[in-house]
Structure 1
């Protein structure tokens, strides 16, 4: 039981998980406001506003900075990982989502018999705009500052 307590009292675990949860919850709220529909799949899906990847990793960096100091090696490592995650979310994964959108249009513009091997759309919403990444990072900073 002490291992469970140790994990649950570790701010470098609990704060990022909470930041991820809040970001995913905000995605559901955003869909309700913008599209006027309730879509719980947004709670577990990637992409959208704000970036839960960014909120998770930036809250981790913030917590590490508060606990170990911003001049610590651990903080430096966490910032480097955060930069990679956010670059990937707004760059590589966003580009992959755009490619999936184009491929879906190509595949489903074909005759029905020509697309018999394609039974489902490719996932298009897998990346983030730079603004979504920024808002996720801002959420992560706020969560780290408030709960660490």
Structure 2
């Protein structure tokens, strides 16, 4: 807060003291920028802002209350549901085929390969389908995965 106030003071000319903003016209609505600031309304970089004589109607403005209604209406404008997060370690281990199957790598192909014969190493190199009983675990960790549960 102190930083923003000092930056606002820096944008003023040295000779001009801090003065109250001029009073608005009789028919104009009070604008918060014109009534609460003790220095001329300028942007962060010192350029004057656009004229604020016209009040812009907010889409969230309150409607006049009717005399017969006593219920309160709460409108959440622009609020969306919770965005689920992808488990990034799982995202690196599983992928989906074109038909919607979840596949993974086989275990046992990282180290100690000298004692494993060529046929076994070749078999471990292939991608295998995740068991259907584990689909709920994988889709829980990866909520945006496009899975076809009916794929063979």
Q: Is TM more than 0.5 here?
A: no
Q: Which has the higher contact order (CA 8 A, sep 6+)?
A: 1
Normalised by the length of structure 2, the TM-score is 0.21
**In proportion to residue count, which structure has more helix?**
1
Normalised by the length of structure 1, the TM-score is 0.21
**In proportion to residue count, which structure has more strand?**
2
